[in-house]
Structure 1
Amino acid sequence: MLFRHAEAVRSAHPGLAAGALHASGVDATADVGARVAEYTARALTRLADGPESHFPEVLAWRRTFARMGLRPTQYRCASESLLRRLRKEGSLPRIHPVVDLCNAVSVAYAVPVAALDADRITGPLLEVRPAHGDEEYTTFDGRTEHPAPGEVTYADAAGRAHARRWTNRQSGHSAVRDGTRRVLVVAEAMHEGGADTVARTLDTLAQELAAHWPVTPVTALLAPDAPEFTLDDDARVP
């Protein structure tokens, strides 16, 4: 299966920096509490100097959302939402060890990180693209929605939307859960220097996944001259 950003997205957002990671063999048993605490502590240290709304990484996504016709304070990118919650509550919710690590690393680097159950995606292509309007998006409480035409979404070959408003809302259909064994992780940035931030984010996640599970993560930085990431289906866990 391939993952990529559509040319329409890259053309409209030339500042996009992105990368992807694939790992097979995770489960819900690892204890990641100490590592989550370390990464959230880094974020809290930064938040002590000012709110997330002042972070260059967040401001870049706010400008992106505004260009897409979304109110940035109504629809926040995933990393801003997590940072805001961390600032107000002092911690992040515990969901699943893979998700907890991704969320903690997301706030540490202040960029959105999406974690999807790769076996819940219909290949051969998952593409970040403008929605046609007939894609099906499943909420976490099981309802079906349809992204608005032109809304940037993660869409697979079956016409299922795995996110809404780009980095704003992940689908309940492909959310990582106890039975997840194979994950696709995507990091995206819009700020100046975003490519370096994405690279460090993916390196950090690859190291953490390898330290907590018997996996060998594969990562790649995506760019206009190398826009596609291949998930090796031969690595699928029985």
Structure 2
Amino acid sequence: MFLVQPSIHPAIATLAPGFRALSLSVEAAAIVRPDVAPAMLEDACRHVQAGGPFWAEAHLAAWADTFRAFGAKPQRTPCSAEALRKRVLRDGGMDAIDPLVDLYNAISLRYAVPVGGENFAAYIGAPRLLRADGSEAFDTMKQGLPVNEPPEAGEVVWCDDAGVTCRRWNWRQGVRTRLDASASRMWFILESLPVMPLSALLEAGHALRDGLLQMMPDATVDLRLLECPVQGEAT
């Protein structure tokens, strides 16, 4: 069974007490129902426009406070879930991009939770959530050209042995590990703060798993809950 084993540095517990996440390791298969994702995305956009879920505003406000705590400015670089929600409320919906991306965006919108999707075949080592020292590489694009934009010292990042894969916790994904429907091994991470009910986080993870299996019936999916270790515990 394919299994991603992410780790969370104990310093994250100090910054965001009660942080928890769901990790989904996916051995992909042929996509036989690509229509599942745009339908879920359209339904999630309607749900956002109707005001749901009830914890959305409080959860996104908690993420904004957490971003400020490590020096980010959420007005300029909001968490991924807030950026998606603002876009739907402004534009009335969201265009389809890619079946896999549409699916995890749909889950993020419906549950007001940051969701990342990664092409795990591009990883060097296991994912780690930690505070950067500022020397790590981060590959992105600027004016159509590849550039390296290292994180600031103290910034919360996801990284592997080759560098940062997502800056400012869940704000911007790097190019190297970007996911699309051609990936054979995938990793998804759903990240929540305590104001979001644990039952809702689990429901979101199950909805993502079910959507994946509807699209790819022969895929295998492993779902695991991650919680912050405290100082002195193993990561």
TM-score where L is the length of structure 1? 0.85
Is 2:18 the partner of 1:15?
Answer: yes
113-122 or 133-142: bigger deviation: 133-142
Mark the runs of 5 or more structure 1 residues left unpaired by the alignment: 230-238
Q: What is the SS of the residue equivalent to 1:84?
A: helix
Q: 1:96 to 1:17 in 2, by over 3 A?
A: same
Which one of the candidate residues 27, 40, 55 is aligned to 1:35?
40
Q: 1:201 aligns with which of 185, 198, 204?
A: 204
- Structure 2 counterpart SS, 1:148: coil
Q: Aligned letter for 1:38?
A: D
Contact preservation (8 Å) 1:18, 1:195: no
User: Which residue is equivalent to 1:133?
Assistant: 134
1:12 Cα shift?
Answer: 2.1
Partner of 1:222: 226
**Aligned AA for 1:212?**
M
Q: Which residue of 1 aligns with 2:94?
A: 92
- 2:191 aligned residue: 188
Q: Which residue of 2 aligns with 1:235?
A: none
- Give 1:44's match in structure 2, choosing from 45, 49, 55: 49
Q: Out of 25, 41, 56, which is 2:28 matched to? A: 25
Q: Which residue of 1 aligns with 2:164?
A: 161
Asked if 1 retains the 8 angstrom alpha-carbon contact of 2:18 and 2:228, the reply is no
**How far has the Cα of 1:224 moved from its partner?**
3.8
Q: Give the aligned CA root-mean-square deviation in angstroms.
A: 2.5
Closer, same or farther: CA 9–189 of 1 in aligned 2, 3 Å: same
What percentage of residue pairs aligned between the two structures are identical? Answer: 25
Give 1:25 shift: 1.4
8 Å CA contact retained: 2:131, 2:153: yes
Rounded Cα–Cα distance in structure 1 between residues aligned with 2:222 and 2:171: 25
The superposition leaves residues 75-104 of structure 1 with CA deviations (integer Å, 9 ceiling, x where unpaired) of 200000000000111122322111101001
Does structure 1 residue 118 correspond to structure 2 residue 120?
Answer: yes
Query: Structure 2 length normalisation: TM-score?
Result: 0.86
Does 1:5 find its partner at 2:20? no
Structure 2: gaps spanning 5 or more residues: none
> Mean Cα displacement is larger for which, 140-149 or 167-176?
140-149
SS at match of 1:163: strand
Matches within 5 A, 1:32-111: 32-46=37-51, 55-111=57-113
Q: Distance in 1 between matches of 2:29 and 2:79?
A: 26
Maintained 8 Å contact 2:19/2:228: no
Amino acid aligned to 2:169: W
May I ask how many residue pairs the two structures share in their alignment?
224
Runs of at least 4 residues off by over 3 Å: 26-29, 224-229
Look up the equivalent residue of 1:136 and give its one-letter code: A
Compute the displacement of 1:27 (Å): 5.7
Shift of 1:106: 0.3
